[in-house]
Amino acid sequence: MVKEMIEEKEIHLKVLGCSDAFCSGGRRHTSFLLKQQNYNTLIDCGATTPLALKANKMNSNDIDCIVLSHFHGDHYGGLPFLLLEAAKVLNRKKTLTLISPPGLKQRLVVLLGALYPGSDDVLSTLPLQFISFEEGVEMQQEKFNLRVFKVQHTTESQPHGVRLDIGGKVLSFSGDTAWHENLIKIAEGADLFICECNFFEHQSEHHLNYEVLKKKENLLKAKKIMITHLGEEMLKRIEEVHFPALEEDQEILV
Ligand SMILES: [Zn+2]
């Protein structure tokens, strides 16, 4: 019933997971479910995402599209499990669109071979559409337009921030990153900008901390900023933080 009341021009997000790599605070890895009429998109799909879907009475058959910010296990490690179930249990027939930095298919061949030897047929059995994104190129998808920007994180993981234009509303996500000028473009005019904030004051080449984000806040021209990917240090000091933080299983309507 609720679904029919949602207008296409609203962003309806369900937070399936918002932890850092180590499930700090007992939370699940990154995955945001973008709900549109008859179309569900996951933004990132960390290793705990199959659990998150089941906890929300869903499974991979309910997902039409997955957008991946980068190749770290807490952001895409759930895929081998989802795909295995889709192929062997759910007998999936509906196309699943996978949008990511270049090279996802080759990575999945390796992952499936390592985690489930003998499951070589999973990728060929499933109706998968692999789409590689490229920085600066606006991609028109069925239900949204997508632009991505490089960010400052482990280079080998091909890190990006993403911007989804959903019928004129903009949802953007930093991915994993330390401060990078592209965050200004990613956040610009967004109705909701979800920004990683792994640490409170600890400095890292690969992640933001609250002290830095607070200093840069005036450059981020989003209508609403929420933070995610909180580590133990951040969780301990969350009362001192003025940005609202994502909560697991939270529903967000913007
Ligand atoms: Zn990462």
Question: For the residues of 208-240, what is the DSSP string, one character each?
Answer: -BHHHHHHHGGG---S-EEEE-B-HHHHHTGGG
- Above 70 in pLDDT, residue 13? yes
Ion ligand 1 residue ranges (Cβ < 5 Å): 72, 176
Does some domain include residue 253?
Answer: no
| Range in 158-162, 164-168, 195-199 the model is least confident about | 164-168
Examine residue 254 and state whether it is found in any structural domain, yes or no. Answer: no
pLDDT of residue 9: 66
Rg, C-alpha atoms of the chain: 17
The yes-or-no verdict on residue 17 having pLDDT over 60 is yes
Question: Which residue range forms the structural domain that includes residue 199?
Answer: 11-238
pLDDT confidence tier of residue 2, bands split at 50, 70 and 90? very low
pLDDT band of residue 59 (cuts 50, 70, 90) is very high
Distance 29 CA to ligand 1 centre (A): 11
Return the pLDDT at 136. Answer: 85
In a domain, 173, yes or no: yes
Which pLDDT belongs to residue 1?
Answer: 44
Q: How many angstroms is it from 157 CA to the middle of ligand 1? A: 7
Q: What is the Å distance from ligand 1's center to 7 Cα?
A: 33
Q: For residue 3, what pLDDT band results from cuts at 50, 70 and 90? A: very low
Establish if 248 belongs to a structural domain: no
Domain holding 171: CATH number? 3.60.15.10
Q: Each residue of 27-46: pLDDT tens digit?
A: 999 999 999 999 999 999 99
* 47: in domain: yes
The answer to whether the beta carbons of residues 70 and 152 sit under 8 Å apart is no
The mean of the pLDDT values for the chain is 95
At 4 the pLDDT is 47
3-class DSSP state of 157 = helix
What amino acid occupies position 141?
Answer: Q
Question: Angle formed by the axes of helices 79-88 and 104-115, to 10°?
Answer: 80
**Ligand 1 center–CA 109 separation, angstroms:** 20
Kindly state whether residue 249 falls inside one of the protein's structural domains: no
- 205 CA distance to ligand 1 centroid (A)? 12
The pLDDT of 155-168, averaged and rounded, is: 96
Which pLDDT score, from 0 to 100, does residue 221 have? 98
Q: How far is the CA of 206 from the centre of ligand 1 (A)?
A: 8
**61-107: per-residue pLDDT in tens?**
999 999 999 999 999 999 999 999 999 999 999 999 999 999 999 99
Whether residue 86 lies inside any domain: the answer is: yes
Domain count of the fold of the chain: 1
